[in-house]
Structure 1
Amino acid sequence: MSTTLDQSLSHLARHIPGATRIFLEYGLDFCCGGGRSLREAALARGLETQEIASRLEALERQRILRAPDWQYRSPAELIPHILDRFHKHHREQLPELIRLARRVEQVHGEHPQWPRGLANQLGTLQEELESHMQKEEQILFPLLARGLRAFVQMPIQVMREEHDQHGQALERLAQCTRDFTPPPEACSTWQALYLGLKTLRADLMEHVHLENNILFETAASTHRMETSHG
């Protein structure tokens, strides 16, 4: 029996470049729910465990490197990537998604499959995410960049808690939109909105993964080593 099934999602996401793409395909939460084993997470969703494990093992064997392996990059390299790839991108994504949601609601608000209040949900997520990113940019990231790891444990704890809240917001969005599936007769704007929401979910999950499972873990492990040698 493959030991891959008994490893946590966060461990697999860190050590197998491209694993996050497979997890997204199967709807497995590797960021906020990264502590669960692949077996536990897959069974909870009624998935074929060995099929997923086999794909991950093949990916590892073939060394399909679709993105830099951030596991072995320094915080000084990872932080600029997070800022440019995710913080900047989220600030572009959400205003457009809110605009599309308001437009669809204005035209199709009476449709039985339209999730009423979707634009407001996205507005709340935008406010929470903006506040979160500002705290990272103004407090946490400068501390990490300066190597002041003794001072980052409390900010990191707060960021992890807020990441959990972002994950819950994504789950609510998925539930009210039937996992971002528009009705067959949906107009092109409605379809574009749900496609954009799927992209937002993938981007935000990857964003949280890089912070929770790599950036924050690196800071925590380094701090533990410094403390033990001190």
Structure 2
Amino acid sequence: MSTQISTTPLRNRTVGEIAATMPGATAIFRSFKVDFCCHGEVALGEAARERGIDVAELEKALLALDVSEGTKPAPRETGELIDHILTRYHETLRRELPELIAMADKVEAVHARHPQVPHGMADILRQMLGEVEVHMKKEELILFPAMRKRAAGGLDTPIAQLRHEHVDHGAQLEQLEHMTGAFTLPEGACRTWQALYVGSAKLADDLIQHIHLENNILFPRYEEASRS
């Protein structure tokens, strides 16, 4: 059963819209390495060309999705969506990032001579923790309270800044994936190394989904109305 809602051909729709309206699409995009969070405004056809992907193959994978098998949709009501972001993503980042930093420090120290050790990974994770914490505080103390007080519109300036910071977060994830070979473990990796890569892969998935919910679902509610 097709999950296509719009009559516009999939290849002409933006990846952000598809991710926001087709349950399960985000998993397809992650498998094809299509950036639907920081560059959600790009049309599917253009995104496929940029990645060197056959757009017909990507469309086929999306159209094969079944609504009944899709992931649970994010809450539609703004207050509930904000609460979901706070509990599912903000709290998780604060809990898991420090653990990843500690593991990365240990792996880099114990396996310093290993040719595949991810030198500098702890520093990137530490930088991410500092920047993400400031970012989340802006949302929790300024943006989200403002959103709860108004129906729509009028928040273009703070949202633009947060979108810019999302791009920076995405660049840091790319650094992590590059230095770890997409979190591919070397032969005989110790348990700490294994836990580090499994946890970091989850961090990447979580952060991508987190940014998607904000960039493609929450933020547009307070941008489009202010320009209309």
TM-score (norm 2): 0.90
What pairs up with 1:197-212 in 2 under 5 angstroms? 197-212=200-215
Partner of 2:176: 173
| SS at 1:30 equivalent | coil
| SS at 1:109 equivalent | coil
Cα deviation, 1:169-221, whole Å, max 9, x if unaligned, reads 11111111111112122222112211111111110010000001110011112
1:36 CA drift (Å): 1.8
The CA distance in 2 between the partners of 1:42 and 1:33, in whole Å, is 13
Partner of 2:4: none
Give the AA of the match of 1:75.
Answer: T
95, 103, 112: which one aligns with 1:109: 112
The CA distance in 1 between the partners of 2:25 and 2:216, in whole Å, is 13
| SS at 1:86 equivalent | helix
118, 125, 133: which one aligns with 1:122: 125
| SS at 2:114 equivalent | coil
Name the one with the larger helix percent. Answer: 1
Partner of 1:41: 47
157, 162, 165: which one aligns with 1:162: 165
Give the AA of the match of 1:114.
Answer: V
The CA distance in 1 between the partners of 2:103 and 2:225, in whole Å, is 44
1:158 CA drift (Å): 0.7
The CA distance in 2 between the partners of 1:69 and 1:104, in whole Å, is 36
Partner of 2:62: 56
TM-score (norm 1): 0.90
The CA distance in 1 between the partners of 2:121 and 2:162, in whole Å, is 25
What pairs up with 1:3-152 in 2 under 5 angstroms? 3-59=9-65, 62-70=67-75, 73-147=76-150, 149-152=152-155
Cα deviation, 1:57-78, whole Å, max 9, x if unaligned, reads 121x5443421254xx121121
Give the AA of the match of 2:11.
Answer: L
1:149 CA drift (Å): 4.6
The CA distance in 1 between the partners of 2:27 and 2:183, in whole Å, is 18
Give the AA of the match of 1:12.
Answer: I
What pairs up with 1:189-228 in 2 under 5 angstroms? 189-225=192-228
Q: Determine if contact 1:143/1:151 at 8 Å carries over to the other structure.
A: no
The CA distance in 1 between the partners of 2:194 and 2:34, in whole Å, is 23
The CA distance in 2 between the partners of 1:203 and 1:69, in whole Å, is 14
| SS at 1:142 equivalent | helix
Partner of 1:228: none
Unaligned runs of 5+ in 1: 226-230
The alignment-based identity, stated in percent, is 44
Q: Give the count of matched residue pairs.
A: 221
